[in-house]
Amino acid sequence: MDQSPSIHYVPILLIFVLAAGLASVIILLSRYVGRHRPTKEKLEPYECGVEPVGSARERQSVKFYLVAMVFLLFDIEIIFLVPWAVIFKKALQDPAFQSLKWVLYGEMMVFMVVLLAGLFYVWRKGILDWSK
Amino acid sequence: MTNLLLEWVIKCGVMLFILLTAVAYLTFLERKVMSWIQLRTGPNRAGPWGLLTPAADGLKMLLKEDILPTAATKWLYIIAPAISVIPALMTFVVIPYGGTVNLFGRTIELHVTNINIALLYIFALTSLGVYGLAIAGWSSNNKYSLMGGLRSSAQMISYELALGLSIVGVLLLSGSLDLTKIVESQISAWGGYRWNVFLQPLGFPIFFIAALAETNRTPFDLPEADSELVAGYHTEYSGMKFAMFQMAEYLNLITSVSLSVTLYFGGWYGPGVETYPLLGVFYFAAKAFVFIFIIMWIRFTMPRFRYDQLMKFGWKVLLPFAIVNVILTGTMIMILNS
């Protein structure tokens, strides 16, 4: 298999078509194969047999939004680590890079310390305390 | 070119078949392991030793009434199971389950495809699975479902950070995102046993715990905590749509154990693989099976976390340790290569 790397993405397209096809077949089958005897009570939201009280779409705890925002920040920072992690060992072993190796190491360590500092800031602000 | 295409079509088809069979029998195995641990017989009615139970289950699911709740947002409710099952089926294509074998007069590499950003691809797809759960929870318009959906999204994104950071340690050691290269880097020294688990004694436990949380397994099965949320995000689902969520869950389990084996336990490598390359598939399956058994064992032994404990553990224990693990690994590599 000496083709260009992009040809190796063809099976991913293929498996996407197969998986999507399988999912739609299952959904259609469940629509048309099983029995259907709907009654009003059966189609109500399940609340342990009691009549549903109000709508489910109430406002939710703000904690979930905070966690989602903090996640976004940290996840982007992790993505920044990936290219560094992939080239780090090769760059250290490459003689042409010897003068830069402390920069390569030190900058990332500073970045990690900033990451830890950010985590402790979020921690002190109480975003991670769910019982409050 | 047509040969290559044919090879891919066959590999994708066989992979789908094996994955779906494995999922069916994992549900059976789970119940059997549970019954052994609890000193019961377990399912033993359909077929010899109950071996046809998965088929009977599938038929039952298919014939069950497909409920479309009046309060639900219809089209989101219908596509939510598809959103969670499609990415789960797609992740396995990049995982190498063997080396190179000669079969039918041609050289066949034992992975469906080989892309150089395989690990990023897997992470991107497993993150997409969150949408399925969140959409299912919201569109059902049921309070239990909504709580389950919100909990599972918050839990999965929290543990994804620790998971992503623990992977960075492996990337530092192998210098590639390509899973075949990661396996090769592990078997290239120490007689084939320089497995990353020995080099990452802190990284592997973090990865494993975070993977348990990502796949919503006990002790992290908060999204469907049956004693408080009925069934969590799939409370309103019945029949095959419910089965699709179960499928997605077991597929994610298979993906995460395969990833543990590939990243930390030398992938398909084992004694005798050089002479009989097909043994690689066996070793891969055996290692994955050991992990699956351990995960089931954990399920029937451990109680569930409380939600605040879960978030506390993910953010205040796993995440700092994962950051420290990256710093330690980077420093060690710096020292050893200076």
In chain B, which residue's Cα lies nearest the Cα of A130?
B308
Below-50 pLDDT ranges, chain B: none
Look at residue B166 and tell me if it is in a domain.
yes
- Where is pLDDT greater, at B270 or A116? A116
Q: Which residues of B touch A34 (CB under 8 A)?
A: 62-66, 239-240
Q: Do A45 and B143 touch (CB under 8 A)?
A: yes
Res B257: pLDDT: 92
> Helices B53-63 and B2-37 meet at what angle, rounded to 10?
100
Look at residue B331 and tell me if it is in a domain.
yes
Choose, out of A8, A14, A30, the residue to mutate when testing the contact with B (most B CBs < 10 Å): A30
Q: Do B66 and A31 touch (CB under 8 A)?
A: yes
Look at residue B312 and tell me if it is in a domain.
yes
Q: Which residues of A touch B239 (CB under 8 A)?
A: 30, 34
Q: Do B65 and A36 touch (CB under 8 A)?
A: yes
Residues 184-203 of B with CB under 8 A from A: none
Q: Do A67 and B90 touch (CB under 8 A)?
A: no
Nearest by CB to A34, from B63, B70, B235: name it.
B63
The complex scores an ipTM of 0.84
Res B207: pLDDT: 92
Q: And the tokens for B84?
A: 């969670």
Q: What angle do CA B196, B199, B205 make, to 5 degrees?
A: 75
CA atoms within 13 A on the CB side of A85: 28
Taking Cα atoms as reference points, which of B12, B7, B24, B74 lies closest to residue B247?
B24
Look at residue B92 and tell me if it is in a domain.
yes
Choose, out of B334, B335, B336, the residue to mutate when testing the contact with A (most A CBs < 10 Å): B334
Residues 127-146 of B with CB under 8 A from A: 138, 140-146
Residue A110: count of CB within 10 angstroms of its CB? 10
Q: And the tokens for A29?
A: 């089958």
Residue numbers of the domain that contains B225: 71-99+113-337
CA–CA distance, B259 with B201 (Å, rounded to integer): 16
Given a cut of 60, whether residue A3 has pLDDT beyond it is: no
Give yes or no for A1 touching B (CB within 8 A).
yes
CB < 8 Å & 24+ apart, contacts of B254-257: B254/B19, B254/B22, B254/B23, B254/B26, B254/B92, B254/B288, B254/B292, B255/B88, B255/B91, B255/B92, B255/B95, B255/B122, B255/B126, B256/B126, B256/B211, B256/B214, B256/B215, B257/B288, B257/B291, B257/B292, B257/B295
Tell me the backbone φ, ψ of residue B108, rounded to 5 degrees.
-120, 125
Residue A122: count of CB within 10 angstroms of its CB? 18
CA–CA distance, B245 with B141 (Å, rounded to integer): 18
Q: Which residues of B touch A68 (CB under 8 A)?
A: 153-154, 157
Look at residue B13 and tell me if it is in a domain.
no
- Where is pLDDT greater, at A122 or A61? A122
In chain A, which residue's Cα lies nearest the Cα of B178?
A86
Look at residue B313 and tell me if it is in a domain.
yes
Given a cut of 70, whether residue A4 has pLDDT beyond it is: no
Residues 6+ apart with CB under 8 A from A44: A51, A52, B69, B70, B71
Number of folded domains that form chain B: 1
- Chain pair A-B, CB pairs under 8 angstroms: 220
Burial class (CB in 10 A: 0-12, 13-18, 19+), A95: exposed
Give yes or no for A103 touching B (CB within 8 A).
no
Cis peptide leading into A5, omega within 30 of 0?
Answer: no
pLDDT-based confidence at residue A1 (cuts at 50, 70, 90): very low
Look at residue B107 and tell me if it is in a domain.
no
Choose, out of A78, A84, A121, the residue to mutate when testing the contact with B (most B CBs < 10 Å): A78
Q: Do B150 and A64 touch (CB under 8 A)?
A: yes
Q: Which residues of A touch B308 (CB under 8 A)?
A: 129-131
Tokens 């990256």 locate to B326
Look at residue B58 and tell me if it is in a domain.
no
Give yes or no for A69 touching B (CB within 8 A).
no
Nearest by CB to A78, from B16, B161, B235: name it.
B161
How far, in Å, are B93, B99, B228, B271, B273 from residue B278 at the CA level?
A: 18, 8, 47, 12, 7
Res A2: pLDDT: 46
Q: Do A71 and B160 touch (CB under 8 A)?
A: yes
Choose, out of B7, B90, B241, the residue to mutate when testing the contact with A (most A CBs < 10 Å): B90
